[in-house]
Structure 1
Amino acid sequence: MAVAVRRRVSEPMIPYVGTIHGGLNPGEMVVIHGTVSRDADRFQMDFQCGNSNTPRADVAFHFNPRFKGSGQIVCNTLQAEQWGCEEITYKMPFEKGKQFKITFLILSDKFQVAVNDKHLLLYKHRINLERVNTLGIHYNKVKIQSIEFVSVIPSQGLQPLSLGAVLKNGEMEDNPKKAELVLPYIGRLHTPLGPGQTVVVKGEVNQNANRFSVDLKPSDSNVIALHLNPRVKSQVFVRNSYLYESWGEEEKKLPDFPFSPGMYFEMIIYCDSHEYKVAVNGVHILDYKHRFKNLSEIKVLAINGDIRLLDVRSW
């Protein structure tokens, strides 16, 4: 997938209230770069249904960092001039005097928010997304460098990763129209793996998720060339290979665990000549040196665990 900035607002005056041309649609993002003032006590960003002051326009998503004490993020919805039940996140990724990047990912049932490329929170829609047409940024304790409205563009030349789901008898279905994204999922790569090829897995982590796995392996073999195993409850991302009837040494070190219950993710696996490079939601998170060297034998992707599988692709 590729992205395109369909509109950019540079250095707006705060308070800012601006029309979201074309509204908000699932799969789009609003990316805001700014700086928190050194004396900030709070600021807010509101996805609104219009810009009326009297009566006050409904606010579909009120995002309100507050710096009192250890800090918190308050989220809410305003309907008919009445606030609903607050949802509070006791995690403060913003620092006074420091720059930030907020990414609001628009999904069909919720907003997904990341700060400085790290997942922060989810907020389920309480107002129909089709009504949202205005962005408001309030309190002059924040300076905004840019607001970007980003559309996702389907890349050309992509091929479905799987030629089918595994049938009950263990054989592969060769009609891609019959492929179903059910777990456990096993699919054939469009072409054998090799340097320069990319595999993309899109899904949503279950709310009560324990773990899930994404494996690249040769056909007709119990060998696993690449085993990616995020363990959500323990916040550990295990990488390994299963060769010669045994597991190798686990690789676990990461600065940050990139998954959270309920979050949407796009995992990109890029095969280089010496290693795999793995990114989650556009952020590179790890490299894994090839332990299974015969890359051209790797033709199968297996996925299982506590996720809802949405799409699989390769090119």
Structure 2
Amino acid sequence: MLSLNNLQNVIYNPTIPYVGTISEQLKPGSLIVIRGHIPNDVDRFQVDLQHGNSLKPRADVAFHFNPRFKRSNCIVCNTLTNEKWGWEEITYDMPFRKEKSFEIVIMVLKNKFQVAVNGKHTLLYAHRICPEKIDTLGIYGKVNIHSVGFSFSEDLQSLEMPTLRLTQVNRGNVQKSGLSQLSLPYEARLNSAMGPGRTVVIKGEVNTNAKSFNVDLVAGKSRDIALHLNPRLNTKAFVRNSFLQHAWGAEERSITGFPFSPGMYFEMIIYCDVREFKVAVNGVHSLEYKHRFKELSSIDTLAVDGDIHLLDIRSW
């Protein structure tokens, strides 16, 4: 699971410019977590994932992440190959603020980088250079860095034990894009019934043109839906509800920030507490939902459908 606490090879308070070797290969699922502070006189800084550290000729940069504070606040991303820059990809939704602390999480995915700042999804950047070639991290410009840490994951599907993959009760798995994908609509029996302390993890990727999707915890016998989670990307609403005795209840919608974005990889964790469900997305707490369906031990089924690629489901 996306854990920002168990980081390896942490470097504290590096001097900037910092250029350091990355000790292991960045495979899909690897994270780079950079924590720091933006000084008041900042004009720009950059984080470069490089192939080598040579200056003449300049090393290739697979991923150039460059927040700029002059004129228009924006983040410019690019790739440098054979000392030539490619086309710039510019993000104007600027998460950095002068004199404020920040946490950048760069996740390496199979076909792209995914960046979150301060727990909020910020941008996607498709690979132009194979990420396996990256062996050096460079941080340059006016920025104070408190720590740089890595989490090297073999595989997006791997999770710490004890975890059990659910057995799908509908159609079999579909092979697509090299990652085994679970077919939708998906329905599976939980390996043991819901109750305080139980956890369900859903891993997936939001479709690029997604409108909405839903994750339901269901009491199999009555078909009551104890928890209906329904992120709607077209309206940025994260709707929660219950379907009890053949009727929907009152929707809950309040949320501090909508955690999903088209094209992004996500890990949604549903944790069952005594009084409520707690939901986190990519390691960041998103919401609580008070139990309306009280017979927790009758909740024995998980159902998922909508505009996502479903990659993995676990529960324990």
Please give the range of the TM-score, normalised by the shorter of the 2 chains.
over 0.9
- After superposition, where does 1:125-144 map in structure 2 within 5 Å? 125-139=127-141, 141-144=142-145
For the residue of structure 2 that corresponds to 1:22, the secondary structure is coil
Q: Is the 8 A contact 1:165 1:180 kept in 2?
A: no
Q: CA deviation at 1:80?
A: 0.7
Q: CA deviation at 1:151?
A: 3.1
Superposition TM-score, scaled by structure 1 size: 0.93
Distance in 1 (alpha carbons) for counterparts of 2:21 and 2:129: 18
Distance in 2 (alpha carbons) for counterparts of 1:205 and 1:261: 5
For the residue of structure 2 that corresponds to 1:296, the secondary structure is helix
| Alpha-carbon distance change, 126 to 295 in structure 1, aligned in 2, over 3 angstroms | same
Residue identity opposite 1:144 in structure 2: I
Q: Deviations over 1:16-58 (max 9, x none)?
A: 1100011312111110011111011111110000001111110
| Alpha-carbon distance change, 167 to 35 in structure 1, aligned in 2, over 3 angstroms | closer
Q: Which residue of 2 aligns with 1:226?
A: 227
Q: Is the 8 A contact 2:104 2:115 kept in 1?
A: yes
- After superposition, where does 1:137-216 map in structure 2 within 5 Å? 137-139=139-141, 141-152=142-153, 154-160=159-165, 162-167=166-171, 181-216=182-217
Q: Structure 2: 5+ residue runs without aligned partners?
A: 173-179
Distance in 2 (alpha carbons) for counterparts of 1:239 and 1:80: 50
Q: Is the 8 A contact 1:193 1:299 kept in 2?
A: yes
For the residue of structure 2 that corresponds to 1:78, the secondary structure is strand
> Quick one: which of 8, 17, 20 aligns to 1:18?
20
Q: Are 1:237 and 2:224 counterparts? A: no
Q: Which residue of 1 aligns with 2:177?
A: none
Residue identity opposite 1:48 in structure 2: Q
Distance in 2 (alpha carbons) for counterparts of 1:124 and 1:85: 12
- After superposition, where does 1:83-102 map in structure 2 within 5 Å? 83-102=85-104
Residue identity opposite 2:121 in structure 1: H
Distance in 1 (alpha carbons) for counterparts of 2:115 and 2:181: 29
Q: Deviations over 1:155-198 (max 9, x none)?
A: 122111x2223159xxxxxxxxxx97100000000011111100
Distance in 1 (alpha carbons) for counterparts of 2:221 and 2:170: 13
| Alpha-carbon distance change, 2 to 84 in structure 1, aligned in 2, over 3 angstroms | closer
Q: Which residue of 2 aligns with 1:278?
A: 279
Q: Is the 8 A contact 1:216 1:224 kept in 2?
A: yes
Residue identity opposite 2:189 in structure 1: R
What fraction of aligned residue pairs are identical, expressed as a percent? 58
Distance in 2 (alpha carbons) for counterparts of 1:261 and 1:2: 19
Q: Deviations over 1:192-235 (max 9, x none)?
A: 11111000000000000000000000114331110000001110
| Alpha-carbon distance change, 131 to 287 in structure 1, aligned in 2, over 3 angstroms | same
| Alpha-carbon distance change, 12 to 190 in structure 1, aligned in 2, over 3 angstroms | same
Distance in 2 (alpha carbons) for counterparts of 1:85 and 1:304: 36
Q: Is the 8 A contact 1:2 1:154 kept in 2?
A: no
- After superposition, where does 1:45-60 map in structure 2 within 5 Å? 45-60=47-62
Q: Is the 8 A contact 1:44 1:63 kept in 2?
A: yes
Q: Structure 1: 5+ residue runs without aligned partners?
A: 169-178
Q: How many residue pairs align between the two structures?
A: 303
Distance in 1 (alpha carbons) for counterparts of 2:169 and 2:87: 43
Supply the RMSD in Å over aligned alpha carbons: 1.5
Q: Deviations over 1:83-120 (max 9, x none)?
A: 00100001111111111110011111111100011110
Superposition TM-score, scaled by structure 2 size: 0.93
